[in-house]
């Protein structure tokens, strides 16, 4: 009986209460070539975790453009263009202000950085740091993002 209830819960009831994942877009900002390739991480505003710039879609912008806007606002990246197709995606649970965890699927766009500004909208709220893709993979929490960074490190 317990097996039946457990299976019924897992296969039928629980999925009815799950919400679909929300979409975010992210910019994997990088510079240099080969062994000199570096990626840019920023700290999150809430917990100070190391992340890549990301955010919600923006009305009037396509996903790569929105990722580029997030790169500007969160990291001061400018004078660049994001690739049209995502290089990967990762999932995580975003904790909303009320404390509710919302599942999020994040599309990652490659952004080759030409320059960074010292003044940008969230400069006083975040730290940013350039590092190797391998070092970045060790600092981020999301397993799928770690894999994207490790793949970039192997390709360099």
Which tokens sit at 121?
Answer: 């909208």
67 vs 99, more confident = 67
Model confidence pLDDT, tens digit, residues 97-127: 888 888 999 999 999 999 999 999 999 999 9
Q: Round to whole Å and give the CA distance between 14 and 8.
A: 9
Query: Are 109 and 67 in contact, with CB atoms under 8 Å apart?
Result: yes
CA angle 48, 40, 115 (to 5 degrees): 125
pTM confidence score: 0.85
Domains located in the chain, CATH noted:
19-155 (3.90.79.10)
Q: Round to whole Å and give the CA distance between 33 and 99.
A: 41
């Amino acid at each position: 009986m317990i097996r039946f209830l457990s299976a019924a819960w897992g296969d039928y009831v629980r999925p009815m209460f799950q919400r679909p994942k929300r979409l975010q877009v992210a910019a994997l900002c990088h510079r240099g070539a080969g062994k000199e390739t570096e990626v840019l991480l920023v700290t999150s505003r809430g917990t100070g975790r190391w992340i890549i710039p990301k955010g919600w879609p923006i009305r009037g912008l396509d996903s790569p453009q929105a990722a580029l806007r997030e790169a500007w606002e969160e990291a001061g990246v400018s004078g660049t263009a994001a690739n049209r197709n995502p290089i990967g995606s990762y999932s995580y649970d975003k904790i909303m202000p009320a404390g509710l965890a919302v599942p999020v699927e994040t599309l990652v766009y490659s952004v080759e950085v030409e320059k960074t500004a010292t003044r940008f909208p969230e400069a006083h709220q975040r730290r940013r740091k350039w590092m190797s893709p391998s070092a970045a993979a060790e600092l981020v929490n999301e397993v799928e993002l770690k894999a994207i960074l490790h793949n970039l490190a192997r390709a360099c």
